[in-house]
Structures are given as structure tokens and as C-alpha cells.
């Protein structure tokens, strides 16, 4: 009996368990072995099992996303990283993903969640689109911005249009923990004259909170977080960089209260209910992200960047000062990965540079490969990305296109 016949006689659960431990690149080749392997790999059970194991069976992948000067072409480069240390000489390019759709106006922001990328702009309007893509399968769907909001008051349904000119906005993208549904969250904050007069007063802020579940083709309005004592889920001074951090099935934002204190607001993607997680450590300008499975705050000072980690999720007293890193560029700086040797891969988003911090030498070194990507250096973002074999369901509401 040959090996293929022997494998075919195994129970489907065992075949899924074996193949789901194979990296995505090899799985794409496995689909060509025979029809039975292809059918198995396309099942929801296999896709879910493979995604749950991806972080352990595959090397961590760094997604570097860029856009050109005219902002009409996006580029995504994926780099395979070693788990133990950052080997600059052996950093291998896994694949290039050339986005053939127009990036939403005024540049692009890229959010990663469970193998999918949300591509969104630095402005939003009914004339632009959000794009959700899977770089592994080269599929993407386009999501139009909502033009109206439906809501219910006193058991009566209402619909009203959205005026994007009057709003600041923030995005969130993630997957619910139990059902695995991918969801886009769009928060619109009224910045009209009454807002500017009353932003620091309880109840003085008006905001809309909308959710788009992939596969439904429509937006829904959800309940807003309790207003007092919080001013807004979008920082008044940082509306263009206040996109959510996805971790543990929740989305997290930095918010201000009426006393100008900063907190972390949390949205459970399963229940779609907001809560206040904890206050922020440190002071001054702070950036929220996820680092190796922990909630992380990057605190920026004149001479150094302080990296805080929440060692026990949801426990405010567990904030720990993990690293103090010398400043080598201005603007937003955040960590991407800590290697086993203690070195840290960092991103200087505003400066468009990738660099690493040597824990042993206490020095920083810029990684030069981004310089070869001109003219895509106008906007650059880096994040860890986990690959998935998930395929979009083609429908009239969400037609699937190829990159």
C-alpha cells in the first residue's frame, strides 16, 4: 500500500490534524496533489484547524504595507522572521502582494486580524471603499461606507443619512472569539461647532458606532459606550491614528475622560458591548498595540521610548515596564516583535523606517531594505500577520475579486 492510499484510509479528523500543521505555502501545493486533498483543504473544519495552529507551525511573518505618492497603488511585502533572533542577512521575502484596487483616498491604513487585512483610508466618504483581502488566497472584497443609519427608538424604526464632513472617525477590525465572524467597526465622532464647544462636558460628545459583519453585506448601528465620564472613544487630539488594537477577541482604543486622563476602552466582538478595561500607564503621547499576545503601550518621551506590557490581560496592576529604547526618529514608534534573544523589532511609522533594538548593546539599528521600495515610501506600516486559507463566499452583496 503506497503512502497516498494509506493517508486516504485515515479518518478525516486525523488527516485534518496532520495537514493543518503544514505552513500555508506548502498547503497551497498540497491542494494540487489530488482531488481528495483539495476537497479536504477547502472544508471549514480544515481552515479553522489550520488557523488555530498557524502561529505555532509557521515562522512569524512581517507584513510591510506601503503606498505611492499618488496614493492609487498599494504594495504589501511579507517577510519571514526567525523566532529566536532577527537575522538581517537571511530575512527572506516570502511573497509580494500588489493591490490592484485603488487604495481609499488620502493614503491607506492596514489592519490585520486572523489572516485577513483591512485596507482603509485616512478619510472616509460614501464615494470610497473599504477593502478586505486575504493575501494567501489573493482574494478580496470591497465594502462601501454606510450612507445612512437605521436605529430604533421607543419600538419605532428610523433611518437617517450620515454626514461624513462633520465627523472624525476610527476603524477597528477583528474576529469574534466564539463564532469567528470577521467584523469591521467604524466609529464616527461629531466635530461640528457644538462638539468643539462641549467636548469636555459630560454628554457633550455625539458619536455613531457601526459594525459590518463579513458575509452580511450591510452595516448595523450598535449601542454607544456610556458617555459619562468619558469624552470620546476617539482621542480628540489623535483622531487619525486612533484605530483599534485587536487582541483576545476584543478591540481596544485609547480614550480621554473629561479630566484629560487616558483609559483603554474595549469592545467585545462577540457581544458587541463596550466596557472600560483599565487606565494607561505612563504619561504624555502613547500608542496602543499588541505585542506577542500582550496588550502593549508605547510611551514616547524626548530621549526614549518606554514599552509597557500588560502581563495579565485586564489586570491594571500587571502593567510592566519591559523596555526603554533610545529615540532614533520622531513621530509614532511602536514594537512589532520581541525575539528570544531579547532584541526588539520596531516600526517608526511616521518616518517610514523599520529598525531593531539590541537588548545587549542598548543600541538601535535601522533596517535598510525599506529604502529599496521607492516610490512606496510615502506611507509605511508594519505588523505581524498570520496567514489563513479562508475563502470569501462569493455573493451579489459581496462579489469576490482577485488581487
CA distances from residue 119 to 6, 22, 129, 154, 275 in whole angstroms, order as listed: 44, 28, 9, 37, 26
Nearest-angstrom CA–CA distance, 201 and 168? 18
**Cell numbers of 223, please?**
449601542
Print pLDDT tens along the chain (403 aa).
566 667 777 888 888 888 888 877 788 778 878 888 888 888 888 888 888 777 665 667 888 776 666 655 566 777 777 777 877 665 545 456 666 555 554 456 778 999 898 987 655 666 667 889 888 888 889 888 888 776 666 777 777 777 666 667 788 999 999 999 999 998 887 665 454 455 555 555 567 789 999 999 989 888 877 653 344 444 444 433 468 999 999 999 988 776 777 889 899 999 999 988 998 898 878 889 999 899 999 998 878 899 999 999 999 999 999 999 988 877 778 999 999 888 999 888 777 778 889 888 888 888 765 544 444 444 567 788 888 888 888 888 889 888 7
Nearest-angstrom CA–CA distance, 273 and 393? 27
Render the burial of 115-147: b for 16+ CB within 10 Å, e for the rest.
Answer: bbbbbbbbebeeebbbbbbbbbbebbbbbebbe
**Cell numbers of 82, please?**
526567525
Planar angle of CA 118, 296, 116, nearest 5 degrees:
20
Planar angle of CA 244, 184, 400, nearest 5 degrees:
135
Residue with cell 501545493: 29
For residue 167, what are the β-bridge partners? Answer: 190
Residue-by-residue DSSP string for 3-57 = HHHHHHTS-HHHHHHHHTTS-HHHHHHHTTT-HHHHHHHTSHHHHHHHHHHHHHH
Nearest-angstrom CA–CA distance, 46 and 21? 10
CB 90 within 8 A of CB 70: no
CB 352 within 8 A of CB 336: no
Nearest-angstrom CA–CA distance, 258 and 252? 19
**Cell numbers of 376, please?**
512606496
Indicate the SS3 state at residue 367: strand
How many angstroms from the chain centroid is the CA of residue 175?
A: 10
CB 278 within 8 A of CB 314: yes
Q: At what angle do helices 12-19 and 44-57 cross, to 10 degrees?
A: 30
CB 175 within 8 A of CB 201: no
Model pTM score: 0.85
Nearest-angstrom CA–CA distance, 232 and 200? 9
Amino acid at each position: 500500500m503506497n503512502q497516498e492510499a494509506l493517508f486516504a484510509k485515515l479518518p478525516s479528523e486525523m488527516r485534518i490534524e496532520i495537514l493543518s500543521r503544514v505552513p500555508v505555502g506548502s498547503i497551497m501545493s498540497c491542494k494540487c496533489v489530488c482531488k481528495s486533498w483539495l476537497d479536504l483543504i477547502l472544508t471549514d473544519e480544515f481552515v479553522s484547524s489550520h488557523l488555530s495552529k498557524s502561529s505555532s507551525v509557521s515562522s512569524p511573518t512581517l507584513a510591510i504595507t506601503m503606498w505611492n505618492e499618488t496614493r492609487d497603488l498599494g504594495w504589501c511585502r511579507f517577510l519571514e522572521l526567525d523566532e529566536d533572533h532577527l537575522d538581517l542577512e537571511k530575512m527572506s521575502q516570502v511573497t509580494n502582494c500588489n493591490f490592484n484596487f485603488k487604495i481609499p483616498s488620502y493614503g491607506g491604513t492596514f489592519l490585520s486580524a486572523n489572516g485577513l487585512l483591512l485596507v482603509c483610508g485616512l478619510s472616509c466618504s460614501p464615494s470610497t471603499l473599504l477593502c478586505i483581502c486575504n493575501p494567501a488566497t489573493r482574494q478580496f472584497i470591497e465594502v462601501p461606507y454606510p450612507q445612512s443609519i437605521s436605529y430604533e427608538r421607543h419600538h419605532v424604526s428610523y433611518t437617517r443619512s450620515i454626514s461624513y464632513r462633520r465627523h472624525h472617525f476610527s476603524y477597528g477590525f477583528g474576529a469574534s472569539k466564539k463564532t469567528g465572524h470577521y467584523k469591521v467597526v467604524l466609529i464616527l465622532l461629531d466635530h461640528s461647532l457644538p462638539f468643539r464647544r462641549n467636548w469636555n462636558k459630560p454628554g457633550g460628545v455625539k458619536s455613531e458606532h457601526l459594525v459590518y459583519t463579513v458575509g452580511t453585506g450591510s452595516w448595523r448601528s450598535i449601542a454607544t459606550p456610556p458617555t459619562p465620564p468619558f469624552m470620546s472613544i476617539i482621542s480628540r487630539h489623535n483622531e487619525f491614528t486612533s484605530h483599534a488594537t485587536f487582541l483576545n477577541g476584543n478591540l481596544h482604543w485609547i480614550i480621554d475622560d473629561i479630566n484629560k486622563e487616558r483609559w483603554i476602552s474595549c469592545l467585545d466582538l462577540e457581544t458587541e458591548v463596550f466596557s472600560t478595561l483599565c487606565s494607561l500607564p505612563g504619561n504624555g503621547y502613547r500608542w496602543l498595540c499588541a505585542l506577542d499576545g500582550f496588550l502593549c503601550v508605547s510611551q514616547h518621551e524626548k530621549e526614549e521610548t518606554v514599552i509597557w506590557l500588560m502581563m495579565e490581560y485586564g489586570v491594571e496592576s500587571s502593567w510592566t515596564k519591559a523596555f526603554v529604547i533610545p529615540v532614533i526618529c520622531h513621530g509614532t514608534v511602536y514594537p512589532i516583535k520581541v525575539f528570544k534573544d531579547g532584541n526588539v523589532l520596531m516600526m517608526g511609522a511616521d518616518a517610514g523606517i523599520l529598525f531593531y533594538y539590541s537588548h545587549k548593546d542598548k543600541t538601535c539599528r535601522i533596517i535598510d531594505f525599506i529604502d529599496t521600495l521607492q516610490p512606496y515610501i510615502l506611507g509605511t506600516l508594519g505588523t505581524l500577520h498570520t496567514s489563513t486559507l479562508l475563502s470569501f463566499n462569493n455573493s451579489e452583496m459581496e462579489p469576490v475579486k482577485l488581487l
